[in-house]
Copies of this chain bind each other. A is one copy, B any other.
Amino acid sequence: MASIDYWFTMGSTYNYLTVMRIDAVAQAAGVTVRWRPFRNVGALTGATQLPFLEGTAKMRYMWQDIARRAGARGLPIRLPVTYPCASAVRANAVMLIGVREGWGPAFARAAYPLWFGQGIPNGGEDNLRAALAACGQGAAADRILAMAESPDLLAALDDETAAARAAGVFGAPTFAVDGELCWGDDHLEDALHWARHGTLAP
């Protein structure tokens, strides 16, 4: 079965759009998705290439663009959205556990609407516990949150971050298939097409 690597960080804004649809869209296309969280974009690019700087036209555009796309898809969004998330790394550590244990995608689909719709940022204690409960891991929350701070888990997250960098990833979300990268939620369909046919859609 064709597959793609889905590289992302839970601190990414545009990743909201992807988290909420990738499994459904990929399943309909007959493509398997490997969810691969990394530490953050700065760990890939260095601090000089952060995508959105406060006060810039690009930052204003990003919120305008995400708001209209979320609206068109029926996803909750309440502006202004807190950004950046202070604890995105912790959210990615939890996400890495979730990917291993199978509840990661459901966790992400619970966490993001809390952030964008209710002002409870990804990675914060309130968000983590509520999203874990929502994906059926409420009883395991203490175990999971402790594991997310363990040296082994953080080393594994660093390894994944290094793998993302080696693959040429510089932003989130990025879809990788056969050495081709497709960057941005709008290019998910390109990646799925590439996974099945080895080309872009005509």
| A contact set with B: CB distance below 8 Å | 44-45, 49, 53, 56-58, 60-61, 64-65, 68-69, 72, 165, 168-171, 180-181, 183, 186-187, 199-202
Cβ-closest 9 pairs across A and B: A57-B170, A72-B200, A58-B170, A57-B168, A186-B186, A61-B181, A68-B200, A61-B183, A60-B168
Residues of B within 8 A of A45 (CB): 56-58
Residues of B within 8 A of A72 (CB): 199-202
- For the complex, give the distance between the alpha carbons of A165 and B56 in Å: 11
Given contacts A57-B168, A58-B171, 12 further A-B contacts (CB under 8 A): A45-B56, A45-B57, A49-B56, A49-B58, A57-B165, A57-B170, A61-B170, A64-B181, A65-B181, A65-B183, A69-B200, A72-B200
Residues of B within 8 A of A68 (CB): 180, 200
Closest Cβ–Cβ distance, residue A100 to chain B (whole Å): 27
- For the complex, give the distance between the alpha carbons of A168 and B64 in Å: 11
Closest Cβ–Cβ distance, residue A155 to chain B (whole Å): 23
Closest Cβ–Cβ distance, residue A41 to chain B (whole Å): 11
- For the complex, give the distance between the alpha carbons of A169 and B127 in Å: 35
Closest Cβ–Cβ distance, residue A37 to chain B (whole Å): 18
Q: What are 7 A-B interface contacts by the 8 Å CB criterion?
A: A57-B165, A57-B169, A61-B170, A65-B183, A69-B200, A72-B199, A72-B201
B170–A56 contact, CB under 8 A?
Answer: yes
A61 is contacted by which of B53, B168, B186 (Cβ under 8 Å)? B168
Closest Cβ–Cβ distance, residue A177 to chain B (whole Å): 12
Residues of B within 8 A of A199 (CB): 72
Residues of B within 8 A of A201 (CB): 72
